Copies of this chain bind each other. A is one copy, B any other.
Amino acid sequence: MIPQTVIDQDIKKWIAEDISYWDVTANLLPAAQAKGKIFTKQEGIIAGLNIFKRVFDLLGTQVDLLVEEGNIVKNKTPVATVKGPIANLLQGERLALNLLGRMSGIATHTAKMIDVVKKSNPSIRICATRKTVPGLGKYDKYSVVLGGGDTHRFNLSDMVLLKENHLKMFKSITESITLAKAKTSFSKKIEIEVQNEEQALEASEAGADIIMLDNFSPVQAKLTISKIREINANILIELSGNINIGNIENYVIDGVDLISSGSLTHSVRNFDFTMLIE
């Protein structure tokens, strides 16, 4: 989905980062051809195969992918073979696996959160935040999508999101939303983060597209949502604030559309792969 020209530019920078002069170890190797096979060392969702492949392509080796992007894979599954000069294979291994490991880790974790939610309310979307790693924003968001999640806004240019700190500069929630509607392109949605029921209801009246209930307890959330729904049946409702795999079950409430969690991208657990040279 990310344009290949963009991916390639990134990979070239990352190769230069990892091989600032030349690979003093690969430099000792004979000019031999070899074949490597990449295996999973755990189960989960595989994500980032195309980025993984481009690393090896750009290093002059050939990749065959054995699974498909976004698939569920079991432990010890072969995911790809790579052929080419042994020096090039070993130069690309770590970079390629770092990317595949992070992206699959994000996708796998996203899928786990969705699994919890799905049981009681399959229409809730699990969403990322902007708590991504600098420089990897688009890869982190794409991994969330492959895991079945929603990107939320890409960045600060993508949607209006009035948070608690913004609201301090306005007389009222109504004023902030009215201004947002007047000054923002029709092409943008307007979301507002609220701290309590009163704010939530004012925001609903004022015509926000999405309301984020920030740090609401499940009980509070339930009450507030039912009142919002009386005002507007179509407004999107998001829950946010330290919701993670450990507690998300409590937030699977009727009427919730979205649950966002920074942990999807800020505290990634690497997906473990290994490359064996045959």
Interface positions of A (Cβ within 8 A of B): 1-6, 9-30, 32, 34, 36, 58-60, 86, 89-91, 93-95, 98-99, 101-102, 105, 125, 127, 130-138, 141-142, 150-163, 165-166, 168-169, 176, 179-180, 183-189, 191, 210, 236, 257-258, 262-263, 266-270, 275-277
Contacts and interface: CB of A to CB of B under 8 A. Distances in A.
Given A9-B16, A18-B130, A151-B187, 6 more contacts: A1-B22, A5-B11, A18-B155, A21-B154, A27-B184, A29-B169
A187 B152 contact: yes
Task: Give the 6 A-B residue pairs with the shortest CB-CB distance, closest first.
Answer: A1-B22, A266-B270, A135-B135, A23-B156, A14-B134, A21-B157
Contact of A153 (B9, B105, B187, B268): B187
A243 to B, nearest CB: 14
User: Looking at A9, A60, A95, A135, which has the most chain B CB atoms within 10 Å of its CB?
Assistant: A135
25 contacts: A2-B22, A3-B22, A3-B59, A3-B91, A6-B16, A14-B134, A14-B135, A17-B155, A18-B156, A20-B155, A23-B156, A24-B160, A24-B184, A25-B156, A25-B161, A27-B183, A29-B169, A99-B134, A127-B186, A150-B187, A154-B157, A157-B158, A159-B187, A187-B191, A268-B268
A152 to B, nearest CB: 6
Contact of A5 (B15, B132, B276): B15
